[in-house]
Chain A
Amino acid sequence: MEKQPLLKIEQVSKYFPGVQALDSVDFEVYSGEILGFLGENGAGKSTLIKILSGIHLKNEGTIWFDGQQINPQTPHESQKLGISTIHQELALVPYLTVAENIFLNREPRHILGLVDFKRMNREAEALLRDLGADISGHKLIQDLNVAAQQMVEIAKAISYNARLILMDEPTSALSSKEVTALFALMQRLKERNVSVVFVSHRLDEIRQIVDRVIIMRDGRRVGALPIAEATEQKIIRMMVGRDVGLFPKEEANIGPPVLELRNLAAQNGTKGINLTVRKGEIVGLAGLVGAGRTELARLICGVDSLAEGKILIDEKHVKIKSPTDAVRYGIGWVPEDRKLHGLILGMDVQENATMAILHRISNILGAINGKEAKEISAHYVEALSIVTPGLHQTVRNLSGGNQQKVVLAKWLSTKPKLLIMDEPTRGIDIGAKAEVHGLMSRLAQQGMGILMISSEMPEIIGMSDRVIVMCQGRITGEFARGDFNQEEIMRCATQFLTVDGETMAEAEAMDTLEEN
């Protein structure tokens, strides 16, 4: 790596009112390199990426790209230089087609100035084929899944002759199968001498694909490691500045069943579900994205309605027709997308933490007992160590990990018997992750039943007393603690009903990947 880097950043600093987001950061990317960019939330990764993509302006320092000093002022300028960014939230127009999105604002024209749709579709498909994706140029973006949409974004970046692609947590919404495809694509980009900066919280993934990692903490660069030296422990220690014991699942007494599902089936694709969660037990629900796990949670919580089957709470048959019923029966749901389904972002910590118990803490005239609301929320802020300037801080301004804890506070205040946690640690940093895991253990010890949906294999294996695997809306496997086997779980998760050549080949490819 003695060669000249493609991108070189020297002593860049960035101040926001009240915080220094970046403190004299150096950063470099070589041609044809896949660089893992790591750090907890708030470490400054996103800020640096936004400076490179022209969204934020740096306060100090210099940036060299391909031997020239640059200072992009707008996203457009940075794109013209050859730096493309794939943001966490995809930036495609859902009602336009794939080709229209790729060539937005530079559509090929006929002589008369009309758009040459034929040529546009052809070129779009050629671009995608080059990347190994077989997507029709006519398809509407809204009809594609997230993985395919990402392919389109990458194709768009390539069509701008991007030489550096910045990917901000591209895998957080993908299933393992899709991640495999994305990694294959990154390899292909590498062969074309395009550099990729890859931000992710999933360390196992990072280690599969990158050549080198740069690690940030509190706005500073704390180190860079070639991948051969970057063990998971080492990375984590550098990221948090201390050793973190992930997955501290402790023994809990497992009691009688809290939740029993008998032959559940519904319009939303779930079929023949039989499942039991006991007091003090953490049941891990594994599977690929789209396997029907969230749909199952929606059934239990009364969001979608049952077609067949029975739900038993505390061994009694109950009818759950709405989320109101679910809350009354002692079911809490920490949803996958906390911003969409968990929080009212414009309201403060106290209002969010008491949202599910407002009725309970009100008097006969409906007036909320302000003192009680304050006591309850203060209790959970302390118990969950939520970092906030006060109970009246708007939750929009909290970090992801603290927001997740506010959602937890909301449910814990209802004193639930069963807590459904859908991807409980998605998008939160490692420190907060360990805290959430520790908390789950404690809750189980206190006798709560927990149904945990997770796409992260280490989390499933580390936290569960029992693992249930779903695929295509059915349960395809069950494992007791002690019999956990990553490959077996994966095999069950990919037990598709219609086994055509493609799915088999992919499942096999994934198996070999897991083995490596």
Chain B
Amino acid sequence: MNNTATKSGQEIDSIPVRLLETIKGLFRVPEFVMFLVVVILFIIGAVMNPRFAGIENQKILTRDAAILAIAAIGVGFTIITAGIDLSIGSIVGFGGVFAALFVVRLGMPIWLGITLTLAMGALIGTFHGWYVTRFNMHGFLVTLVTLGVARGVLLVVTNATPITGVPDGFKFLGQGYLFFDLIPVPVIICAIVAGLAYYLLQFTYIGRQIYAAGGNIEATRLSGVNVNARIMLCYIISVVCATLVGIIQAGRLSLGHPGAGEGFELLAITACILGGLSLMGGQGSVIGILVGSLLIAVLQNEMVMLNINPFWHKIVIGAVLLIAITFDYARRRRRS
């Protein structure tokens, strides 16, 4: 009796109930909740300063978000394998300086300079991956070394002075627009990187195996998966993405600056964590990383637009991270 009553009751209001369930379900998706935060921040910004939502500011905002997102996606790969890549801050500087060096000082064509720089990045990533897999070492250690050494190399190579005079084609990568001068080029590059990363992680066996290695490396290895190759790939992707960010930054600044990208590793890692990646590995998505990067970019842009003292920026970002991780851990504890 009771059963039938509830059943017919469910049928009567089934559409609203189902809608409610769908909405409830959405709130359980961390990426969606983060996206709501972004929307709220955006509305606050637009209300406080009308110029915030204006097209010129949006071009700046999306470009910042895209540049951060490319680096964050790279680092995200290593975080999914339960590792990390701390080197990317210095690698951003490395990418900009070496691309500028090849193009300006050695007079290479732009495409060659960029390809060569990315290839060097891939080599550094291979080195990281080799250390991590060969010695079963946490990525933290070897990438911490690179964080220091790469910055030092930049200072030595440039004698601490920026390399100026990059050609217009190079600048286009950071400053240009496509599609009726509306979409910044970095946003398009980011879309391509994110699309490839999404495909790799979501649809291919390699992606599944990367998540599996992050979830339980031994079980994955014993299933016959070449775990070392997968981890190596993640470290290569990480450095290559950061190198790419360096090249874009150099285009944007019109110079290769040896100090570029300082502290960028923390921003990128923060974006990943805001986007729902777990430092324990095996979890997270490219969508999440994009939302996380957008959140940071909106926050930073808003603080500028609202004339908040720049000295406060890092404190605010840190506070947001603290709130995010607290919520995340509370959610996880409730679930288990």
A, B: real partners: yes
Is A303 interfacial (CB 8 A cutoff)?
yes
Is B283 interfacial (CB 8 A cutoff)?
yes
With A322-B226, A324-B224, A326-B224 given, is the CB distance from A344 to B219 under 8 Å?
yes
Contact at A347–B226, with CB atoms within 8 Å? no
Q: Which residues of B contact A365 (CB under 8 A)?
A: 204
Q: Which residues of A contact B176 (CB under 8 A)?
A: none
Is A410 interfacial (CB 8 A cutoff)?
yes
Contact at A351–B222, with CB atoms within 8 Å? no
Cβ-neighbour of B218 out of A327, A340, A355 (below 8 A): A340
Count, chain A residues at interface, CB 8 A: 31
Using a CB-CB cutoff of 8 Å, which residues 327-347 of chain A contact chain B?
327-328, 333, 335, 340-347
Give Cα A365 to B206, complex, Å: 10
Complex interface: stretch among B162-170, B208-216, B290-298: B208-216
Contact at A355–B215, with CB atoms within 8 Å? no
A361 to chain B: closest residue by CB: B205
Cβ-neighbour of B221 out of A323, A345, A347, A362 (below 8 A): A323
Is B220 interfacial (CB 8 A cutoff)?
yes
Contact at A355–B223, with CB atoms within 8 Å? yes
B224 to chain A: closest residue by CB: A327
* Minimum CB–CB distance for B283 against chain A, Å: 7
* Minimum CB–CB distance for B38 against chain A, Å: 27
Give Cα A410 to B215, complex, Å: 16
Contact at A355–B212, with CB atoms within 8 Å? yes
Q: Which residues of A contact B205 (CB under 8 A)?
A: 358-359, 361-362, 366, 368
Cβ-neighbour of B224 out of A328, A361, A368 (below 8 A): A328
Q: Which residues of A contact B216 (CB under 8 A)?
A: 340, 343-345
Contact at B204–A324, with CB atoms within 8 Å? no
A411 to chain B: closest residue by CB: B223
Is B312 interfacial (CB 8 A cutoff)?
no
B208 to chain A: closest residue by CB: A358
As a 0/1 sequence over residues 196 to 207 of chain B, the CB contacts with chain A under 8 angstroms (1 = contact) are 000110011110
* Minimum CB–CB distance for B223 against chain A, Å: 4
Cβ-neighbour of A366 out of B204, B219, B221, B283 (below 8 A): B204
Is A490 interfacial (CB 8 A cutoff)?
no
Give Cα A66 to B225, complex, Å: 56
Q: Which residues of B contact A355 (CB under 8 A)?
A: 208, 212, 219-220, 223, 225
As a 0/1 sequence over residues 364 to 397 of chain A, the CB contacts with chain B under 8 angstroms (1 = contact) are 0111100000000000000000000000000000
Contact at B223–A340, with CB atoms within 8 Å? no
Is A301 interfacial (CB 8 A cutoff)?
yes
Is B282 interfacial (CB 8 A cutoff)?
yes
As a 0/1 sequence over residues 293 to 335 of chain A, the CB contacts with chain B under 8 angstroms (1 = contact) are 0000000010100000000000000000011101110000101
Is A356 interfacial (CB 8 A cutoff)?
yes
Contact at A362–B204, with CB atoms within 8 Å? yes
* Minimum CB–CB distance for A349 against chain B, Å: 14
* Minimum CB–CB distance for B145 against chain A, Å: 27
Contact at B212–A323, with CB atoms within 8 Å? no
Give Cα A414 to B222, complex, Å: 13
With A326-B224, A346-B283, A358-B205 given, is the CB distance from A351 to B212 under 8 Å?
yes
Give Cα A365 to B200, complex, Å: 10
Contact at A323–B215, with CB atoms within 8 Å? no
In the complex, the 9 A-B pairs of residues with the closest C-beta atoms, listed nearest first:
A327-B224, A358-B205, A366-B204, A344-B215, A356-B223, A362-B205, A344-B216, A367-B203, A355-B223
Query: Can you give 22 contacting A-B residue pairs, CB < 8 Å?
Result: A303-B222, A327-B223, A327-B224, A333-B222, A343-B216, A344-B212, A344-B220, A347-B211, A347-B282, A355-B219, A355-B220, A355-B223, A358-B209, A366-B200, A366-B204, A366-B205, A366-B206, A367-B203, A367-B204, A368-B204, A368-B205, A410-B223
Beyond the given pairs A340-B219, A344-B219, 12 more chain A to chain B contacts, judged by CB atoms under 8 angstroms and listed by A's residue number, are A343-B219, A345-B216, A346-B283, A351-B208, A355-B220, A359-B205, A366-B203, A366-B204, A366-B206, A367-B204, A368-B203, A410-B223
Interface residues of B (CB under 8 A from A): 199-200, 203-206, 208-209, 211-212, 215-216, 218-226, 282-283
Interface residues of A (CB under 8 A from B): 301, 303, 322-324, 326-328, 333, 335, 340-347, 351, 355-356, 358-359, 361-362, 365-368, 410, 414
